[in-house]
Amino acid sequence: MSTVVSRRITWIKSILCVLVIYVHCRNTDWFQTGTAINIAAAEELLCDIFAKIAVPGFFFFSGYLFFCGYRPEKLLTKWKSRIFTLVIPFVLWNLIYYVIEILLRILPFTAGAFAGTTVPVNVKEILLAAFNCKYQPVFWFLQYLIIYTLLAPLFWRLLKNRTIGAVILGAVFAAALILSNVTLPGWMRTGLLLLQYSPAYLTGCYAALHLREFFEDKPVTWEKALPAGLIFTALIVWEILAPSLYSIELIRLITGTLLWFFLGVIPFGEPRRWMRFSFYLYAAHGMIAKLVNMTICIKVSSSMVTGGIVFLILPWFIILFCTLTGRLMERFLMHVSYLLGISKKTGKKV
């Protein structure tokens, strides 16, 4: 992968990261709408659209990066890499949030806010916290990504032939569309959600296996960027004005591809320093957003006007905070920061 392509992916993934942070900075439940109903409505609309763009984009680029240069003999190497960059940080951050929830109910200055609620301390609860994101629900997409990564050998077999792979991708998309309105209990619902988000991941896999030259060989021109931008805009407008199963499933299927060409025409420079802390941002932003929104609502003002201002500014405060603390941890707690996914070892990417 060329430096230009790698840089473009870093920028686009970082943009998606900012959109995810905005989604979880939503504060209409904290601040009183009152006469500022338009501010609350605009915030809800933005968060809804940002979520529908960011999540499939995240899965697309994850699939693309995993299957770039993929061969069956490289599978164990790629799995080993993801253990340290995905699985271990996922488990550790889930456990950190579990411990935080326990401490919030014990510490004198926070216990009152959580009166009447308890967090069980037993093996079952620890396992639910570590592997099922019980106390860090925003990690659901990382849980799905781990499952997709484990299924990589199956995905490769299904998609390795260009024609058959395209047919299978179309069939998965059709199945996700047909089953979108089905309601299932418990673990079966998780299986259904895995199916519904799989077109985004599988599209990235297919693009890496069969369309890499189309994606990477030549600079993106306006002849590619303009149609991609128009289609992307049309899909978003469709989802806003007349949402349907077709619009959301199409967004999930092709958002990553459209973003690649729509944003690819921008001459991205060197990635900014904060962009290397993307996992840290994903892991920490939810708790920071909750604490800041709660504090400002209680101590400063509960007006939705204040909430709207906080909503616009808060993601950038979180980025600044995580960048500064991430750099400190890299310097003074290098091994801990590596295990938490805050910093990465240098070396060849797999």
Residue 319: per-residue pLDDT = 96
Q: Model confidence over 314-338: pLDDT tens digits?
A: 999 999 999 999 999 999 999 999 9
The answer to whether the CB of 85 falls within 8 A of the CB of 66 is: no
Highest mean pLDDT among 84-98, 110-124, 285-299: 84-98
Statement: residue 127 has pLDDT above 90: yes
Whose CA is closest to 102, among 89, 116, 90, 120? 120
Which amino acid is present at 89? Answer: P
The separation between the first and the last C-alpha atoms of the chain, rounded to the nearest angstrom, is: 11
Q: How confident is the model at residue 347 (pLDDT cuts 50, 70, 90)?
A: very low
Nearest Cα residue to 215 out of 229, 204, 231: 204
DSSP 245-290: HHHHHHHHHHHHHHHHHHHHTS---SPPGGGGGHHHHHHHHHHHHH
| Alpha-carbon span 64 to 112, nearest angstrom | 47
| Distance of alpha carbon 205 from alpha carbon 227, whole angstroms | 23
* Res 348: pLDDT: 46
Question: What's the pLDDT tens digit per position in 9-35?
Answer: 899 899 999 999 999 999 888 887 776
Q: What pLDDT is stored for residue 79 in this prediction? A: 93
Structure tokens at 113: 């806010």
Residue 75 — pLDDT band, cuts 50, 70, 90? very high
Report which residue type is found at 114.
Answer: F
Output the pTM of the full model. 0.88
pLDDT for res 345 = 64
Query: Quick one: pLDDT at residue 165?
Result: 94
Question: pLDDT above 90 covers what percent of the chain?
Answer: 42
The 10s digit of each residue's pLDDT in 154-212 is: 999 999 999 999 999 999 988 888 887 777 776 777 788 888 889 889 999 999 999 88
Q: Which of the pair, 32 or 274, is modelled with greater confidence? A: 274
SS (H, E, C) 279-292: HHHHHHHHHHHHHH
